[in-house]
Every structure is written in structure tokens, then in C-alpha cells.
Amino acid sequence: MGTARVVFDRWDGTYAERMASVRSSAVRDLFGAATRPDVISFAGGMPDVSKVPGDAVARAAREAVRDHAATALQYGSSEGRPGLRRIFVELMAESGIRSKPDDVIVTAGAQQALDLVAKVFLDPGDVVITEGPTYLGALQAFSAYQPRIVCVPMDAAGMRVDALEEELERLGPRGAKFIYTIPNFQNPAGVTLSPERRRRLVELSRRYEVPVVEDDPYGRLRFEGGHCKPLKALDEDVIYLGTLSKIFAPGLRLGWVCAPRPILQKLLLAKQAADLCGSEFSQAVAERYFAGSRWRRVLASLTEAYAQRRDTMLSALAEHLPPEVAYTRPQGGFFVWVELPSFIDTKPLLAEAVERGVAYVPGDAFYPDGRGRNCMRLAFCYAEPEDIREGVRRLAEVFEDRLELYRAFQEAGCQV
């Protein structure tokens, strides 16, 4: 399915207009290559589940069906299990967010929450503001509802709120449906929104009456620096998305959305229409897993491993890539964003990279409009340190010829 095959489509012309704007996910398309044993993958943001204790999951499953036989295999409420929603409230409290279980709906990963938010707010042509680059799954979820996506640039301190203000001023009050942001260790840029800009962002949200959608999958995976309060802790009207995919396991597809009640009621209707309710079984397993304290030790060991991999990747990038190549230095999370000279297009070079045994995601996947062609996202979360070093070496080989050419051009005084 992943590879394009030419099939005569007699339904051509009968699909909804939205399907013209829904692109395939570059990460999903790379899923095959990314899981090939001979390819070192910096492509997907796949957590290292080898550190998640299978025995704890098996025990949680056994206890779930034993102690909750009547509910764990049955349909559940669309909001999700009360016990799991309490756990989400506690997780948020540890980050500084005050909420109640009734402020939360369990979703199939944060991705479903993105889909539901878009479904609830977006008519065709509505404006959504995102960081540029931004999470490609968000672009995919939003684009199914045919919005106009406006990207605000970032620097090392995250979204440039001065540029955001200009955009909001241009659009006028309620001129956008929401501002989508990943403030911690942004996907794909790896940068973190500074505390000052967080305060400014929620002020702008209030002034221009445009709600903020805060996506926080990586907030607990900090390697260094102090914890930054989530936007939701600064403004209770923020729509906050959380997930267990990075602190437990993506294979259970569990996330949540915490939002003001009126919005939550709309999201609940959209959730019912989408899948009736989440998996009670997955939810009961997660309830058990988070009931103890072992998950904290697992998370600590995950964070330590990711920190080491980031260090390895940054030092390998410094060693193998020439100074013309810029890249970010994330304080947590999964990703480094690499910017190559503007004449390099990372998309056609990907096939060559996979051929050489390394995969990345081309930068244009993270923009709605074809920008980012000279960029790429590297995920350091999945590969072991020795593979990261080798992978960056292979990556450098891919670009070496082109970069030498670039240098020759520059030395000859040419403009690229």
C-alpha cells in the first residue's frame, strides 16, 4: 500500500474535495524503510519501547481483565475511564496545570485530539496559525478540514511572538480559529518556547480571541535546563493535548485533551462520531501501569537514554557536517532540525540516503506550502548511540559531493 501503484480508479471524481488537500505522511510512507534492519532510521519519532517492561504490561493486562472484567472488554463512556482521567489530571498537576477529570477526554493518542479539534473548529478557508515548520501529523489532521494554514517562524527561543502578533493584527480579532503550538522541544525544530514568550503568547490569544492549542508530547523528556510551565498553566482557556506515547508506549494509542467545558462538549460529540469511545482495555492497562511508581524509573531511564543519544548526534553532526550546515540543539524531546544550503533539496536525496542505509524526513513535510526543501528532521530517539554515529557518517556522505560543490562555488566568489 505504501508504494504507489497505478490502479484504475473508477471512483475518481466522486471523492470529497478535502481529499485533494490530504497528503500522505512522509513518516508513514517511510515506515517500511525505517523498520528495515539495514537502515539506520532518523525518520520516525519512535520511542525506545525496549525500555518499557513487558512483564509490567502483561501484569497490568491480567489485572485489568481480572479486576474489571465487566468493563475492560466492554464499550465505555466516550469521555474515557474516570480512573485514567484522574491519572492524566495528576500528570498535568506535576507540570503545573490545575484541572479536574471532567476537564479531560481520553483520545486515541494526541493525533485523534488534533483531528477532533480541527473537526470542531474548522470550516473550509478558516485560518489556523502554526509554527513553521510544524508537526506533519497536525498538518495532515488539519488539512482534511481545508483550512488556510499560516506559519509563524521560530528562532532558538521558539515561536517568534512578534511575528505572531503581526499576523494576528493583520487577521483581526477572531481572524484565526486557533494557534497550534508545540512549546517544548518542538517537533520538528527541537526548540523550546521561552517563559517570556509563553506569557506573551497567551496574552495575544486573549487579546485577539484566538484559542491556543498546546501540544505537549515531549514536556517530560527534558535533558537539561529548568522546567517551563505549560501555557495551560498560564491560561485555563488553553486547549491542552497530552499523550502516553512518549512516557509509556504508543502501541496503546492513549492521549488526552484538556479543554474548557464548552469546547470539551463539542469535542465529545466529535469523538462519539469518530469511534464511539476509546479502548477500555488499553485504558484499564494504562490505569494499572500508572498506579505504581515503576513508570517513573522507566521514564527516567528513557530520558537518560535519549539525552545520551542527543549528545551523540550533536557531536557526530559537529564532526561530520561542515560549518555551512546549521542545526538546532534541543534540551529534550526527540528531534534535531538541520538546515542545509538553500540549493540542496533533501527530498530527492532521500532515496540515495536510504540506499546508503540511513533515513530522515525531508523538511518540506513540515510545511503546508513546499518550504523547508533544504532542511531535514533527524530523530535521535530510536537508534542506539553507535548507530547514530554511523548514521550521521552515512548522511554526511550523501551531502558531501553537493557541499563540496557549494564550497567550490563560494571560494570562486559565486552566489548560490
Q: What are the CA-CA distances from residue 25 to residues 45, 319, 342 (Å)?
A: 13, 31, 23
Torsion sign over Cα 245, 251, 257, 263: positive
Instruction: Examine residue 23 and tell whether it contacts a copy of itself (CB under 8 A).
Output: yes
The window from 25-33, 127-135, 225-233, 311-319 that contacts a copy of itself (CB under 8 A) reads 25-33
The window from 195-203, 275-283, 295-303, 328-336 that contacts a copy of itself (CB under 8 A) reads 275-283
The phi-psi region of residue 125 (left if phi > 0; otherwise alpha if psi is between -120 and 50; otherwise beta) is left
Minimum distance of a copy of itself from residue 245's CB (angstroms):
8
CB closer to a copy of itself out of 117 and 403: 117
Q: Which of 72, 99, 68 is nearest to 283 (CA)?
A: 72
Q: Which of 394, 317, 414, 289 is nearest to 349 (CA)?
A: 394
Contact of 103 with 259, CB cutoff 8 Å: yes
Instruction: Examine residue 266 and tell whether it contacts a copy of itself (CB under 8 A).
Output: yes
Instruction: Examine residue 54 and tell whether it contacts a copy of itself (CB under 8 A).
Output: yes
| Three cell numbers, residue 70 | 465487566
The window from 11-19, 225-233, 353-361, 405-413 that contacts a copy of itself (CB under 8 A) reads 11-19
CB closer to a copy of itself out of 163 and 299: 299
Instruction: Examine residue 163 and tell whether it contacts a copy of itself (CB under 8 A).
Output: no
Instruction: Examine residue 144 and tell whether it contacts a copy of itself (CB under 8 A).
Output: yes
Minimum distance of a copy of itself from residue 362's CB (angstroms):
17
CA 96, distance to chain mean position in Å, is: 21
Instruction: Pick from 36, 69, 301, 416 the residue near a copy of itself by CB under 8 A.
Output: 69
CB atoms within 10 A of CB 33: 20
Instruction: Pick from 163, 263, 307, 405 the residue near a copy of itself by CB under 8 A.
Output: 263
Minimum distance of a copy of itself from residue 22's CB (angstroms):
5
Q: How open is the CA angle 351-354-357, to the nearest 5 degrees?
A: 155
Question: Residue 301 and residue 113: Cα distance in Å, rounded?
Answer: 28
Minimum distance of a copy of itself from residue 110's CB (angstroms):
9
| Three cell numbers, residue 251 | 502501541
Instruction: Examine residue 14 and tell whether it contacts a copy of itself (CB under 8 A).
Output: yes
| Three cell numbers, residue 392 | 550521521
Instruction: Pick from 125, 225, 262, 370 the residue near a copy of itself by CB under 8 A.
Output: 262
Instruction: Pick from 132, 133, 137, 183 the residue near a copy of itself by CB under 8 A.
Output: 137
Question: Residue 388 and residue 380: Cα distance in Å, rounded?
Answer: 7
Contact of 297 with 308, CB cutoff 8 Å: no
171 phi, psi to nearest 5 deg:
-80, -25
Residues 104-123 that bind a copy of itself (CB under 8 A): 108-109, 111-112, 115, 119-123
Instruction: Examine residue 143 and tell whether it contacts a copy of itself (CB under 8 A).
Output: yes
Q: Which residues contact 410 (CB under 8 A, 6 or more apart)?
A: 416
Instruction: Examine residue 49 and tell whether it contacts a copy of itself (CB under 8 A).
Output: yes
Question: Residue 365 and residue 368: Cα distance in Å, rounded?
Answer: 8
Instruction: Examine residue 58 and tell whether it contacts a copy of itself (CB under 8 A).
Output: yes
| Three cell numbers, residue 407 | 564550497
Contact of 64 with 252, CB cutoff 8 Å: no
Minimum distance of a copy of itself from residue 374's CB (angstroms):
26
Instruction: Examine residue 285 and tell whether it contacts a copy of itself (CB under 8 A).
Output: yes
Question: Residue 2 and residue 169: Cα distance in Å, rounded?
Answer: 42
The window from 242-250, 331-339, 343-351, 355-363 that contacts a copy of itself (CB under 8 A) reads 242-250
Residues 175-204: x/- map of binding to a copy of itself (CB under 8 A)?
Answer: --x---------------------------
Minimum distance of a copy of itself from residue 35's CB (angstroms):
9
Could you tell me how many residues of this chain bind a copy of itself (CB under 8 A)?
A: 96
